[in-house]
Structure 1
Amino acid sequence: MSKQTILVQAGTGKTGKRVARLLREQGHTVRIASRSGEPRFDWAEESTWGPALAGVDAVYVVPLDATGDEHEQLTRFVATATAAGVRRLVMLSARDIDTFAAVNSLVAERAVRESGVAWTILRPGWFNQNFDEDYFDAAVRAGEVLLATGDGLEPFIDAEDIAEVAVAAFTQDGHDGQIYDLSGAELLSFPQAVGIIAAELGREIRVVDLEPAAYAGQMAGQGMPLEFAELIARLYQRIREGKEAHLSDGVQRVLGREPRTFAAYVKNAVAAGAWN
């Protein structure tokens, strides 16, 4: 495909920053959607959407949140984008979203599918990078990780793999109208994943496992917004019940190789100074 101008939402996030880097390496023009960008983009101010989309060929779409209001907002954004001349949308969604109504991204997915332009939807599982760039980082550093997943298994996926799939959808033929379920190479429990990190670091990291309802209450008591704590607890309940214990072949189909392993991610993260 010819060189494009691509707007990347969540361009400093776990997948967005990698998508932006890979696109730039291929010579595409990348515009980061942010309140400090030029032109400025703010989800809360729809007047900023048009200027940010001016001259843009494609958008990496990352929904703002997992609640209905934000997804209705994304529906309006998609309409604005197509009206502005955007010809391709690649959306970051979530694995098994169509069987888990509590995280109802289906409204946003439908807006993308019905946009009238080329589209690809990515449905990944839990990111490896949640352990060092986001959710679990402080807990791993402190040496105690609070969970509610029991021995349930999850096919953790590397954000680098997600980004490579997204870039392929932007730059290669054959991905229009596709929904790719993305997983890592193996099934691991959360305690096993923490154990791999602990072994690589050479120190003990304690895992404390609660029932999901108790987890939500404790996290809310520590200052986490209750709605978010309850959402995470519901996700943990699915894992605890074995509902996420299956692999997907999206990475293999798009990239023609196996996904990165969790152990390889940990080695690279430690080498880069994670959890120091």
Structure 2
Amino acid sequence: MRELLTDLEAGRQLSDPDPVRRAQNQMKSAAARRFYKTVTVEREGDGFSVLLDGRVVKTPSGNAVILPTEKAARLVAEEFDSQGDRIDPLTMPVTRLVNTAIDGVAADTQAVLEDILRFSSSDLVCYRAESPDALVARQAEAWDPVLDWARAALGARFFLAEGVMHVEQPREAIGAVGLHLRQREDAFRLAALHVITAITGSALLALMFEAGALDAEAAWNAAHVDEDWNIEHWGLDAEAAARRTARKRDMIGAAALIEALH
């Protein structure tokens, strides 16, 4: 399912599963010329559709783009409206995510749910550095509140590990996360949660954000404690900076979609 999600996100049948290389591949192909003048949002049954010059936007698989809330539809509309003479999919993270939800996630929400759940069994916030002390303290400051939230909100107690040695998490904790996820089987919400989980390496950070207990910027910062530490000490080259910018754009887009679904 993870490979399916990345393929659909890229808008083609085959793609590199790595989001950065996939983005680079997309940048090599010529952007499509903008073919529309006006972008509007209209009610469509129980949802809202996005129209280009009066015609409903379709996904790569030919499905109509209909979202459950007007605010979510307007996110997609704004991305189309902001395009210049050519359409650059890399600047349209919400649209790509919506396409993924409609063409892929809706057909098998259980598989996506299980993939998010697998992240929780080796969640980023459970793996701590042994040293230096300053990094250990920084991780604790950012990640301990996430574990406290999981215990209070989900009834899930997770074990900590030092280094990269895998630690087996209690079945009760994973079960509690699974129960929470099963109450969120909407394809758009699950697709967005999957993106945040994959980018952060933490199902718990994604769920804490979705619950409104953490904002998107704080979730991003918490997920990048180790990377930021390395940047402070070793710097960041242009290629790595571009990858980081692309990841953050996709995460912020997913976060915006979740907020728009409320």
Q: TM-score, normalised by structure 2?
A: 0.25
